[in-house]
Amino acid sequence: MPSIGLHLALTLFFLASCLKGEDFKPALGLLPFGLLCDLDSFIGVHRATLHNLFIIFVPLLAMVICNRLNLNIRAKYFILASLLLAFHIFLDAFYNGVFLFYPLSEKSYDLVFWFGLKETGLSVLFTWIVPGKVDEIVYVTNPSPGVPEIPIIGGGAELVVLIFAVLTFVLRFKFS
Ligand SMILES: [Zn+2]
């Protein structure tokens, strides 16, 4: 599964590219939306309770409620929160799969994408496996509260990417 560090790095890059330099506080407020799906490792069913398509609409629902209550929060922050949730879920979907339609369906969707050169020329593969690999990764095949491991930083390359992401974020919001 993508590590927490990789999700954090992509969130930092995304916010640095979408928000203006003076939006440091909104950027900090949006940061958790790139990570909070993984709270279902502790509450509920991992890769299911907070890793489904319905979760993506929660910030948009909050936007409608805030509008009704005349709370003056800009629409783009809610949309960015939704996009961060969506990015997290689809990234995980390419790493062993997620229960995209939980709780309506208990099928895991493990998306597969490959693009490159083979002896026959350019080749592209896009497919999905339902369910996941039964023997290796039980938790993406059968929804269950157990999680085999939660990497925080999965390797040296991820560490370097995370350092660059933090630098990008700091340079964007503190020195622009
Ligand atoms: Zn996740």
Q: Ligand 1 center to residue 100 CA distance, Å?
A: 12
Residue 125 forms part of a structural domain: no
Q: 95 C-alpha to center of ligand 1: Å? A: 9
Q: Is residue 70's pLDDT more than 50? A: yes
Is 78 part of any domain? yes
Nearest to 47 by CA among 113, 112, 141: 141
Give the tens place of pLDDT for each residue, 19-49: 999 999 999 999 999 999 999 888 888 888 9
User: Which residue, among 112, 113, 147, 103, has the nearest Cα to 130 in the 3D structure?
Assistant: 112
Bridge partners (DSSP) listed for residue 110? 129
Residue 109 vs residues 41, 46, 96, 100, 132: alpha-carbon distances, Å: 18, 14, 8, 7, 7
Could you say which DSSP state residue 107 is in? -
User: Residue for token digits 């927490």?
Assistant: 4
Residue with tokens 């993984």: 38
Q: How far is the CA of 47 from the centre of ligand 1 (A)?
A: 6
27 close to 19: Cβ distance less than 8 angstroms: yes
Dihedral-angle region of residue 95 (phi above 0 means left; psi in -120 to 50 means alpha; beta otherwise):
beta
Query: How many domains does one find in the chain?
Result: 1
Say if CB 22 and CB 175 are below 8 A apart: no
- Residue 102 forms part of a structural domain: no
**SS3 at position 172:** helix
**How far, in Å, from the CA of 83 to the mean position of ligand 1?**
14
As residues whose CB is below 5 A from the ion ligand 1, the structure lists 37-38, 92
Asked, for residue 137, whether it belongs to a domain, the answer is: no
Domain that holds residue 10: 4-97+156-174
pLDDT band at 146 (very low <50, low <70, confident <90, very high): low
Q: 167 C-alpha to center of ligand 1: Å?
A: 24
19 is a domain residue: yes
Please check whether residue 47 lies inside any domain of the structure.
Answer: yes
Query: What are the pLDDT digits (tens) for 83-110?
Result: 999 999 999 998 878 889 988 888 888 8
